[in-house]
Amino acid sequence: MLPTFGYIYIIILIYYSNAVIISQATFGVNIYHIYLYYSNNSLIIFSISILILTIIIHLWYYHVQVNEVIMKSTRENILQTLLNHPMATINDLAEAVQINTISVRHHLTNLQLDGLVKAEEERHGVGRPRLVYSLTQAGQEKFPARYLQLTDRLLTQLKQVMPEKQFTDLFSQMAKNLAAENSDRLKKLSFEKKLDYLQTILEEQGFSIEWEKSGDEYLINEISCPFYHIGQSHPEVCTMDQTLISSILSIPTEKIECVLDGDHHCSYRISKQKVTEA
């Protein structure tokens, strides 16, 4: 039987293995080595060595995780600073975020590669112009705004002054205008290429969609919809994406599921027969 120390080591090793510090395979090899070294009366030395190595690996892993959290927090602080103080210099950011300028440059480089921050030259008296930084549109969209509340109020006001049909047609016309902007490109595409193009257009509008062939029909599923919250008060807005789908594909679509009715997502169906006839 193993001495008490051997059992304590096994328990500690199991703990670290569950913490994803040592893989199950490595754990098995260590137990096998314990047996070999125990039979050679060297278990204690071996166990202490492996235990120290295990702790070092654990501390390294913890250090990496902490650094990732700090990096993410610093990145967010820089973005927040640029939101409140656009056209900031590296020194401004270093002072606001309380890190050195070298680290700020590193973060700004990554943020520029991600398309969240842009740099411009600014003259400030005699000498070379300096670089100032601000958020791109994509960077600004990282921060929630009260657009939903404003949009809801605008639509409520429009409902009060417009006839019901005219109000509904407003969204359909917006979709038709968007489809018309892409009409030249669409003429050269096959139906399935149009589906791919439709997916791109809707993603640019904030949707997340997937399409698939299922038997003798095509299914288009909207995994997420940017109009969901507005649609709860103004379901007329749902005509926009359905009209856009029909206009892009030049085929009427049938809505078979709707998230506002309690379904998981909105889905549209197009029969292959309609595709052939189009």
Q: What is the DSSP string of 82-132?
A: HHHS-SB-HHHHHHHHTS-HHHHHHHHHHHHHTTSEEEEEE--SSSS-EEE
Q: What is the pLDDT of residue 216?
A: 86
As a whole-number percent, the residues of the chain with pLDDT over 90 amount to: 28
Q: What is the pLDDT of residue 245?
A: 92
Q: What is the pLDDT of residue 72?
A: 56
Q: Are 79 and 138 in contact (CB under 8 A)?
A: no
**Which has the minimum average pLDDT: 87-91, 136-140, 156-160, 199-203?**
136-140
pLDDT beyond 50 at 18: no
As a 3-state breakdown, the chain gives helix, strand, coil percent values, each rounded to 5, of 65, 15, 20
The average confidence (pLDDT) of the chain is 77
Strand partners, 9: none
Number of CB atoms found within 10 A of residue 7's CB? 11
pLDDT beyond 70 at 49: no
Average pLDDT of span 2-8: 48
pLDDT beyond 70 at 92: yes
Q: What is the pLDDT of residue 243?
A: 93
Q: In terms of pLDDT, which residue wins out, 41 or 24?
A: 41
pLDDT-based confidence at 219, cuts 50/70/90?
A: very high
Distance of CA 152 to the CA centre of its chain: 25
Domains of the chain, earliest start first: 4-65 (no CATH), 82-140 (1.10.10.10), 147-277 (3.90.1520.10)
Q: What is the pLDDT of residue 31?
A: 47
At 105-152, the pLDDT tens digits run 998 999 999 898 999 888 777 778 889 998 887 887 777 666 778 888
Average pLDDT of span 258-269: 88
Q: What is the pLDDT of residue 2?
A: 46
Q: What is the pLDDT of residue 75?
A: 86
Q: What is the pLDDT of residue 21?
A: 41
Q: Are 130 and 121 in contact (CB under 8 A)?
A: yes
pLDDT beyond 80 at 274: no
